Amino acid sequence: MSIEYGDSSIHLWPVGAGILIVMLLIMWRRKHSLAYVLCGGIFGVYVLFTLDKTLFPIRIMDEMLHSGEPMRLWSLNLIPFNFDMTFIPHMVVRQIVLNILLTVPFGFGINFVAHVRAKHILWLALAVGLSIETLQLMIGFLLRYLYRVVDVNDVLLNATGVLIGYGTFQVCARLYTRITRKPDRNQNGLVAFLYDVANRA
């Protein structure tokens, strides 16, 4: 994660790591189990990785900032399923697959840090993709140029990835509860936490 201006750059990984550590300490102070904090940490690292791949690097182009020209929206696509397969088809397919795979871990991992009901997962899936594209658009407005392609198809593909991840979690959770013996009431630790998460699904 970095912001680039000319020949200099500001690396934001330490900032992201610091925020994550503070959040984990708050979880710990609120008497969450060590297993929950561990899962929260893993999920947090994934979120940082996703932000790095979708929002960064942010390249500040001085000539664009002071050009005085109106913001151009040539890299904004609001037409669903508008894939230009005539231009390097394998690259288009690759981008489709990567956009789906990017959010599969979210759909799977969110269950370890929050209780997500099945009836809410569709809205959550759309919110994930929409949040990413909205942030890209907002940063573009601040820069006065779109530094990334803002595409409604990315919203749909990211949402698909979340749904696949959530569906995979549901299948794994059911298999886990069937093959794993229920822990004793007084038993704590990672095994008991995982069983509770799976059983809650």
Q: Could you tell me which of 153, 131, 127 has the C-alpha nearest to residue 75?
A: 153
pLDDT at 171: 95
Residue 172 Cα to chain centre, angstroms: 21
- The answer to whether the beta carbons of residues 95 and 85 sit under 8 Å apart is no
Domain residue limits at 44 = 2-200
What pLDDT, on the 0 to 100 scale, is given for residue 67?
A: 58
The pLDDT value recorded for residue 141 is 84
pLDDT of residue 63: 65
CA angle 198, 104, 151 (to 5 degrees): 145
pLDDT of residue 185: 64
Q: With a cut of 50, list the residues of the chain below it in pLDDT.
A: none
Q: How far is CA 97 from the centre of its chain?
A: 15
Q: 130 and 151 in contact (C-beta within 8 Å)? A: no
The neighbour count for residue 133, using CB atoms within 10 Å, is: 20
- Could you give the number of structural domains in the chain? 1
pLDDT of residue 65: 59
Residues 6+ apart with CB under 8 A from 71: 140, 141, 144, 145, 146
**pLDDT single digits (tens) 38-78:** 999 999 999 999 999 999 998 887 766 555 555 666 678 88
